[in-house]
Amino acid sequence: MTETLLPSPTVTVQRIAGNIGAVIGGVDASGPLSDEVVAQVRQALLDHKVIFLRDQELDYDSQVAFVKRFGDLTLGHPIYDNAEEQPHLRAMDSSHGTRANHWHTDLSFIERPPAAAFLHAKVIPPVGGDTIWANTATAYQSMPAELRDLADRLRIVHSNDSDFTDDTVDWRGDYISNRIETEHPAVRVHPETGERALLLGGFAHSVVGYSPQVSRELIHSLQEYVTKPEQTVRWQWRVGDLAIWDNRATEHYAVYDYGTAHRRAERLTLVGSTPVGVDGRPSVVLCGDTTAYSNGA
């Protein structure tokens, strides 16, 4: 008996802001997907930097299966313990003190920050709890040529002991008990698109070769281009939403405006490559070892 092959579903892509963000339709992340559909989703991610799939019914196993179509998985987190039964999961749960209400690129203090993140909404407050993403590639392009030239030559130290951890994570002492620092280029070349994108955010600690005050001013000046409203998209969550973002060309901010209401989402991340600057120089680890996280075991 000849097997009847069903036609691939029609994948739709609807832009929702001028420089970043699109809603993807026609994809059920819990079921089997053709290589063609996966390729279309991947291309939409590269084009729009953050994409959203509504009404996705996912448990841990089905989310892992979906994410594996796009690459190798990291462990849940390089600092926190990872559960044996769900080693790739990081729960972003307000009841545990996790807020992330600071502009950041995920885990930029490690040598190989995740390439992409997949966040599935489980519990959403009745009001508030949106997330904002910014496109760091178009932000770079929006800067004056002279400032782009300077940024191309800067190296920035990212640390887990940074502004981000002051008021956005619980048990701060545990988070910074082992110092992890990496020197990254301020501008990385995207390994798939070839775009230049700023690599900044709340873990950016200091600029190599500059005093602390000048470092802060330089980072702040560059960061202002990232967080301009023109470079951003704001997402109002519903339970079942799956957000996927390119961590190599975005920053994001989880808005903490929901008080004591419960908010929970579950994140899986893809192994990333070591960032490389415009001059071809890769990032350099200054302290800390996160190879187990990137190896996914």
Per annotation, catalytic residue among 48, 190, 196, 252: 252
**Known catalytic membership, residue 96:** no
Domain range holding 106? 12-295
On whether residue 145 sits in a domain, the answer given is: yes
Band of pLDDT at residue 5, cut at 50, 70 and 90: very low
Q: What is the pLDDT of residues 23-52, one digit of tens each?
A: 999 999 999 999 999 999 999 999 999 999
Residue 58 — φ and ψ, nearest 5°? -130, 135
Q: Are 99 and 226 in contact (CB under 8 A)?
A: no
Cβ burial of 270 (10 Å; 0-12, 13-18, 19+) is buried
**Residue 268 falls within a domain, yes or no?**
yes
CATH of the domain at 260: 3.60.130.10
Clarify whether 106 is annotated catalytic: yes
From the list 42, 48, 77, 104, the catalytic residue is 104
pLDDT digits (tens, 9 = 90+) for 66-97: 999 999 999 999 988 788 899 999 999 998 87
| pLDDT greater than 80 at residue 265 | yes
Catalytic residue, chosen from 48, 90, 102, 106, is 106
> Does 220 participate in catalysis according to the annotation?
no
- How many domains does the structure of the chain reveal? 1
**Joined tokens for residue 77:** 């987190």
pLDDT in tens, 211-227: 999 999 999 999 999 99
> How does residue 109 score in pLDDT terms, banded at 50, 70 and 90?
very high
pTM for the whole structure: 0.93
Structure token pair of residue 57:
């019914």
CB burial of 130-144 (b: ≥16 within 10 Å; e: otherwise) equals: bbbbbbbbbbbebbe
Q: 1 lies in a domain?
A: no
Those residues with Cβ within 8 angstroms of residue 214's Cβ, 6 or more apart along the chain or in another chain: 207
Does 198 reside within a domain?
yes
β-pairing, 50-53 vs 22-25, is parallel
* Cβ–Cβ under 8 Å, residues 204 and 212: no
205 is catalytic: no
Q: Phi first, then psi: what are they for 108, rounded to 5°?
A: -70, -5
